[in-house]
Each structure stands twice: as structure tokens, then as C-alpha cells.
Amino acid sequence: SPMERPLERPLERPWERIVVLTGAGISRESGLETFRDGDGLWSRYAIEDVCTPHAFHRDPLLVDRFYNDRRAELWRVRPNDAHLALARLEHAARAGEWDGEILIVTQNIDDLHERAGSRNVVHMHGELLRVRCTACGATPDWQENCLPQTPCPICHRPALRPDVVWFGEIPLHMERIQAALDRCDRFVSIGTSGTVYPAAGFVAQVRDHADTLDINLEAPAVPTAFERSMVGAATRMVPRWVDEVLAG
């Protein structure tokens, strides 16, 4: 605390706690499709056919193919400058070059944040590269043909499903996310349409105690939702914002 510090040392910059919420738009320029843009996934698939518990019960093969197609896409793409800029900010914190901490709360199920070098990442909608056993709860790495009859590699019971949160299900890690939102100084939303809850409600929860910024190709639907918005491609805007943060 300042009382313990010898006066001649300058006060460091205040410790900053940043929560970054990302959506499909941050991975768009890597080549992954979003959901609700013109050519998005929901223009080619019906949510109720591939993204609900009932869909998996009714036609597990179709659901398995939907996720296998998205995994095949994921293996063909790389993190982009937006993912890399966020990883640079986390690295600066670990290296003591920036007095702060960053937590990425992502709605995305791709692993591009991790491949860019970010480690403080929470996947609230699960992960494309994992499966989940509904019998023992294990979340092993994905394997070929994750179908209900596929035996779990841990408990060997036929109870596997994609480790993805479907519509109507509870997002993951919400306690940790809520705690981070309650104590953050800055909240930045990148590449999300802000149409799916609970993520869409985060900005309203933090506005009383954090600076809020939206980075998106389009201006926010509700102009007053965020104090500030940077309108443009994530690969241009996110590095610019990270440079601002690091410049203090």
C-alpha cells in the first residue's frame, strides 16, 4: 500500500482488471463463420436441428457432422491480429510490463485465443475440441464420431456428447465470470452481436463500476449501451486498443 512505499518511488499506474467478452466476430477474419451475419451459420443450419439437446437426441449423426465440419474448418485457420493483441496484453502483465490483469470470457468454441497465447480464457459455451461424458462428467479431448453410443474413454459408458452449451442449457463457469465482472475496471466486448444472454447482459451489470467499450464492425444496436465504441474490423481495432492500454 502507498504507506509502505518509500516516497521517492513514483506510484505505479493503478492496477487494472479487464474483462474482455469475445464473440464470433473476433474469429471472422481468421476465416471462421459467424452466426448471424449474412452468410452466417444460422443462414445454412436451423438452430433447432443442430444446437439443442433435443436435436442431439433426435439426430445425433447430423449434430456430429455439424461439429465435425466446424472442427475441420478450425484446423485450417490461424489466430488473427485481434487474438494476438489480446495475448500480447496478457503477456505484458505476466512480464510485469503492465500493471493489470485480463480475463477473456469467450462465447466462441474455437481455440484461437489459446493458440494465440492467451491462458486466462473461459469458454462459457464450451469447446469444439472437447467432448463431455454425461455419465462421469469428464471432458476429454474430442475424438472421431462423438455419438451417444461412443464409450467414454474414462468411464467407458456410452454417454458422450459435444462439450458445447446448446440453446436452453446453462452456460459454463458463470460463478467465475460473475466474480470477474463484479470486480473489473474495464469491460470490452469484441465481435459479438449482443443478442444471446447472459453475455448480452454483462455490459449492463458492469456499467456502474467499469469503463465499457464495444469493438465491432457495426455500431452497437443500442448506442447508449457502451460508453465508447470502436467501429471497424477487429484485426485493426483490437491492436489499436491494446496499444492504448499498454501506453497507460
- Residues placed in the known binding site: 67, 70, 107-110, 133, 136, 152, 155, 191-193, 216-218, 234
24 makes contact with ligand APR (CB under 6 A): yes
Round to whole Å and give the CA distance between 17 and 178: 14
| Residues 6 or more apart in contact with residue 189 via CB below 8 angstroms | 20, 21, 23, 202, 203, 212, 213, 214, 215, 216, 226
Task: Provide CB contacts within 8 A for 135, sequence distance 6+.
Answer: 152, 155, 157, 159
Given the residues 83, 113, 123, 125, the one annotated as active site? 125
The three-point CA angle 53-55-57 to 5° equals 70
Q: Should residue 28 be labelled a site residue for ligand APR when binding is judged by CB under 6 A?
A: yes
Residue 31 or 248 with smaller CB distance to ligand APR: 31
Give yes or no for residue 234 binding ligand APR (CB under 6 A).
yes
Note whether 107 binds ligand APR by CB under 6 A: yes
Residue 79 found at the interface with ligand APR (CB under 6 A): no
Question: In a 10 Å sphere around its CB, with 0-12 CB exposed, 13-18 middle and 19+ buried, how is residue 132 labelled?
Answer: buried
Is there a catalytic annotation at residue 113?
A: no
Please state the closest distance from residue 46 (CB atom) to ligand APR, in A. 12
Considering the complex, what minimum distance in angstroms separates the CB of residue 107 from ligand APR?
A: 3
Q: Which residues contact 124 (CB under 8 A, 6 or more apart)?
A: 105, 106, 107, 165, 171, 172, 173, 174, 177, 199
- Among 69, 99, 218, 227, the residue binding ligand APR under the rule CB under 6 A is 218
Which of 40, 117, 140, 239 touches ligand APR (CB under 6 A)? 40
CB of 71 to ligand APR, least distance (A): 16
Contact call for residue 126 and ligand APR (CB under 6 A): no
Name the nearest CA neighbour of 17 among 172, 182, 230: 182
Chain residues binding ligand APR by CB under 6 A are 23-25, 28-29, 34-37, 40, 107, 125, 191-193, 195-196, 216-218, 233-234
What are the catalytic residues?
125
